[in-house]
Amino acid sequence: MITISLCMIVKNEEEVLERCLNSLKGLMDEIIIVDTGSTDSTKEIAARYTDKIYDFSWCDDFAAARNFSFSKATQEYIYAPDADEVLDDTNRRRFMMLKAAAAAAQGAEPEPASFEKRPRLTPFINTAPNPPDTT
């Protein structure tokens, strides 16, 4: 199965981070949190999900922070949501189907879709329009 690193850049996200990470639970193979100077409990919340929490001194350059987070990733693919994003149940299923399809294309046995099996995360939202009905 393909592997995915969740890379997030956060600052003072205590109100939304747990909800975001819970919505991704079981989907990611690695969670990387880069904190740019939180003064609330953001880092403590993140620590419930990963030990890969890094400090980054904000330099007024979002791309630099994003690239720093990507430099910590060790998996095949990267997913980089905002802390206020949530993956709903429909899109969780779609995400697992996507991972299974990629595994099948690579000739691997897909893993069972167990969202509680691993503390891994990732959001996916299908924004493509529905295909026209051709029947």
Enter the pTM of the model. Answer: 0.76
Confidence (pLDDT) at 112: 52
Report mean pLDDT in 10-residue bins for the chain, 135 residues.
92 97 94 98 98 97 96 95 94 89 74 42 45 50
Confidence (pLDDT) at 90: 93
Query: Which stretches of 73-133 are DSSP H helices?
Result: 89-105
The amino acid at residue 123 is P
**For residues 85 and 123, is the Cβ–Cβ distance under 8 A?**
yes
DSSP 3-state percent helix, strand, coil across the chain (nearest 5): 30, 15, 55
Phi, psi of 108 (to 5 degrees): -95, 155
**For residues 5 and 28, is the Cβ–Cβ distance under 8 A?**
yes
CA distance 122 to 60: 26
Confidence (pLDDT) at 128: 44
Q: What is the dihedral of CA 132, 79, 22, 110, to 10 degrees?
A: 70
The amino acid at residue 28 is M
The amino acid at residue 115 is F
Confidence (pLDDT) at 59: 95
Confidence (pLDDT) at 70: 96
Phi, psi of 53 (to 5 degrees): -120, 125
